[in-house]
Amino acid sequence: MTPYSEHSAAARGLAACHICGKVQDHTAGHCRRCHSRLHLRTPQSLQRTLALTLAAAVLYIPANTLPIMVVQGIGGDESSTILSGVVTFWQMHAYPVAIIIFTASVVIPILKLIAIISLCIAAVRPTNPRRAMKVYRFTEIVGRWSMVDVFVVAILVAVVQFGSLMAIRPGPAAVAFAGVVVLTMIAAMSFDPRLIWDKAHQHSLKTQNHV
């Protein structure tokens, strides 16, 4: 019995190229259409995904505690964090904007970290693979939308430059936050969802043998 499901390409020694999708014998080593490396499964997928997710989780702390931008004016400097920006919009009664920023900058990054970790768990402990696929597709789609706050900082820094009267500078949290988004995106790209199906298949084989 192979560790791969009988429906799968891997069970027949066939691999779909990571780059162009061509199905071919994996022992060739390189894709005969686009010459990239062939693997049955992405090598070290879980280790890479977990390492990147961990790094993103660590960076998430300075991203939320340090100032994302500093407003310099006659009355002195005033720094704002991601959360204080949300609070300002809320106090201005701009509820939809406050909700959009809160979702993009706080809820989505946390949900994404949890989602990636739960996918890694699903690749080790068998779960319902169809449900896990929904989580996987969520992490793929949602990834880059968290970058909104970084772009807002970029635009404000460019536009609000009135000399000593008022000027906006980017804070350290902007870089940290961009780092969180980039790392979680690479983590999601490194994850091989086929591992979840392999695990579910191996589990069903084991339960069949017991009966």
Structure tokens at 139: 């992490």
Q: Which stretch binds another protein (CB under 8 A): 106-114, 115-123, 159-167, 203-211?
A: 159-167
HSE, CB side, 13 Å, CA atoms: give it for residue 2.
Answer: 12
What is the nearest approach in angstroms of another protein to the Cβ of residue 117? Answer: 19
Q: Which of 123, 147, 180, 187 binds another protein (CB under 8 A)?
A: 147
Does residue 22 belong to the site contacting another protein (CB under 8 A)?
Answer: yes
Whether the CB-CB separation of 201 and 4 falls below 8 Å is answered with yes
Candidate list 28, 92, 107, 205; residue touching another protein; CB under 8 A:
92
What's 37's DSSP letter? B
Nearer to another protein, 98 or 210 (CB): 98
CA distance 116 to 138: 10
- Minimum distance, C-beta of residue 18 to another protein, in the bound complex (Å): 9
In contact, 84 and 149? CB cutoff 8 Å: no
* By CB under 8 A, residue 55 contacts another protein: no
> Of 86 and 210, which CB lies nearer to another protein in the complex structure?
86
**Lookup result for tokens 């983590």:** 187
Rounded distance between C-alpha atoms, residue 148 and residue 163, angstroms: 26
H or E segment at 195? helix 194-210
Q: Does 114 bind another protein (CB under 8 A)?
A: no
Check binding of 74 to another protein (CB under 8 A): no
Positions that interact with another protein (CB under 8 A):
4-5, 7-10, 12, 14-16, 19-24, 33-36, 89, 92, 94, 97, 100-101, 129-130, 133, 136, 144-145, 147-162, 165-166, 169-170, 174-175, 178, 182, 185, 189, 193-194, 197
